[in-house]
Structure 1
């Protein structure tokens, strides 16, 4: 490995274990802690040490899995008793009103400003508003807003297909598969993202330009995020055309078509052709960058599992997730995704409750010797890049 590190017991400040800093019993062998987290296990059968961020859980540590199954039930009882799964309609009404208000203001400014290169600032502002709208769609997909699936679907279709141009049904299906098997080879669609490679096997399979890209993927990661908006739109259109697992295909198709028609018409009707092209590029590029920078810290660079790593639900969710430490402003900027551990343990927990749930869940992990990973936003990005660099080397 090319990075320098110090061998020590992990602390919650950058590698995540007990909140008090007391030593814990690692769940995998050879656990080495550093500012770019490394979880290594030498596997003689495979003939090499595993690279940074790629963990293999020892069979010995899995022996008590059946007994551990009750631990999540215990945690669930604590969470329910604290009222942390109760819906927060008032908070969501405020968020929806704020987002729609911002969209309305941006639309008025866009029309009043007319043919001006200052429209690039409107494009940047709309990228922020679109991302915040997508966060609401994410919450609806997890049924955080209402108890009713139908009501959540309505919000999700409006926020996704109509307002941001992303297929709600396609995204929910993909995201649910990720939640069921986070960072698991062959199951998590979020670690199969061409042209990036997140595992040694993916990197080894690359040829030609793909292999060249992987060698430089850390340097290209953030520029690549500028294309994330386009990626989401293309896959959304493809899913609607194919009808892939869409329960509301006619509604999805109609709302998505309405979004695309309205978006393109407004851009070229109000702006000159060059201005419209630049506006779309700036808006979609920053939208993708903002989304990518919000989601990337959640799991990238954390342990990657295989089917052989037969972890119980509690450990599978905690050990593959990374929290980002920050205040209320960061909570708003990241849409609550900075509480990734809490969110993965209880996906239907309303976003406003995640901050309140964190001390309880972190203490529970401490009491049960489960590594709880929390770091700053900049360090989380550094850890993602370190993982990509190691895989590509």
Structure 2
């Protein structure tokens, strides 16, 4: 949610100055400037008020992620997303228009205590990456890529080489997904430029996806997790309803297009297997073309050029297509079950401008720690710690977790941890529960207002 510089730490040209300096501002006035009540958008960081109306359109992190905090205090989100906070603050003067009135300045205990926790984590060096950890992780990805090619080149296409290479490619694609996630959150290198360079490389040329599309979607998710109309992962889509409130909203709209009371069953067919091969493929290219991200598209094309160069001589076209779709389905199933186990069973609601700790803990839960779970989930079994500290290297989540638990206990915030299987089963359970809520609401309305 950078206000004056891009994620490389480079200033994005001159920022339009606000029309006036307001001076002391009340919170009631800030809340009106949310882009809905009034067209202007104001944002508060450390009790200072900024006019982001024009700047939001040029915001390097995307228009939506910053405007999700319009009319609100974005201090904690601002701190969470920036490694070099002092550098960014230097370029915020041009859009500074005032400050919150002194008699309205307040700091909730939970906000103050979380800020202290972050300082403690910084002093412990928990934001410093272990280069060896990420080097070994990167090496095992590249090793799987090379091993798959060698097996297919040496033994040719048959049933066992097909299964072995699909397993290796599916695994490496899942692990690339976790690694690009680390790079996208700027947690692997001290230099943002190196993080972005390798993010482009692994997301595009090793995965065949789009770094810019991922940034656009994922930062919104972190800014407002499980917040309807703000988190893109819980949008009012046509295929599924989630949580307790969304089913009622969809039912009351009268636009229900699916038998949602059966969604826990059709989830197995159109959810995990098709998320990557179908939905993500469409959305990635739609974003790159619509936003004219030609550099992103170029790097993306390198993946397919490399893949075809390596495997066209080794397979027929139908074998190649079968091979490609098979490991994409495996990757999709892997990613979907892991990513949804932490969020879908949790609270899904409209935005109520909660403090950072409460916002993230209501929307996330953890899975038990083990060597396998760490590897299998890319350390997203520590989803709570990841959401609280998105730029923290993942190998340090286990060290900060006891401090987070202690803070949650102090403030009565529920810190949930499940087994891997419990996390997976809760996805189905929550889909079933949400479907039943929709069914009751939808058919109750139909009984009240039958069609003529």
TM over 0.5: yes
> 1:69 maps to which residue?
111
Structure 1 CA distance for aligned equivalents of residues 339 and 128 of structure 2? 25
* Contact 1:324–1:375 (Cα < 8 Å) also in 2: yes
Structure 2 CA distance for aligned equivalents of residues 227 and 305 of structure 1? 26
Shift of residue 92 of structure 1?
Answer: 1.0
Structure 2 CA distance for aligned equivalents of residues 391 and 113 of structure 1? 49
* TM-score (norm: length of structure 1): 0.78
Structure 2 CA distance for aligned equivalents of residues 150 and 100 of structure 1? 22
Structure 2 CA distance for aligned equivalents of residues 191 and 110 of structure 1? 40
Look up the SS of the partner of 1:319 in the other structure.
Answer: helix
Choose 1 or 2 for highest CA Rg.
2
Shift of residue 267 of structure 1?
Answer: 4.4
> 1:82 maps to which residue?
124
1:116 aligns with 2:158: yes
Structure 2 CA distance for aligned equivalents of residues 94 and 348 of structure 1? 20
Shift of residue 90 of structure 1?
Answer: 1.8
* Of 205, 214, 229, the match for 2:276: 229
Aligned pairs for 1:1-393 (under 5 A) are 66-118=108-160, 119-192=162-235, 193-198=237-242, 199-201=246-248, 203-204=250-251, 205=253, 207=255, 210-212=257-259, 214-223=260-269, 224-230=271-277, 231-243=279-291, 249-264=293-308, 266-307=310-351, 309-393=352-436
Give CA-to-partner distance per residue, 1:37-91, whole Å, 9 cap, x none. xxxxxxxxxxxxxxxxxxxxxxxxxxx9734321221211222222211122121
Shift of residue 300 of structure 1?
Answer: 0.7
Give CA-to-partner distance per residue, 1:136-156, whole Å, 9 cap, x none. 100001001012221111111
Shift of residue 303 of structure 1?
Answer: 0.6
Q: Which runs of 5+ in 1 are unaligned?
A: 1-63
Structure 1 CA distance for aligned equivalents of residues 195 and 420 of structure 2? 30
Structure 2 CA distance for aligned equivalents of residues 265 and 91 of structure 1? 31
Q: Structure 1 residues 313 and 321, CA, compared in 2 at 3 Å: closer, same or farther?
A: same
Q: Which runs of 5+ in 2 are unaligned?
A: 1-105, 437-452
* Contact 2:144–2:168 (Cα < 8 Å) also in 1: no
> 1:9 maps to which residue?
none
Aligned length: 323
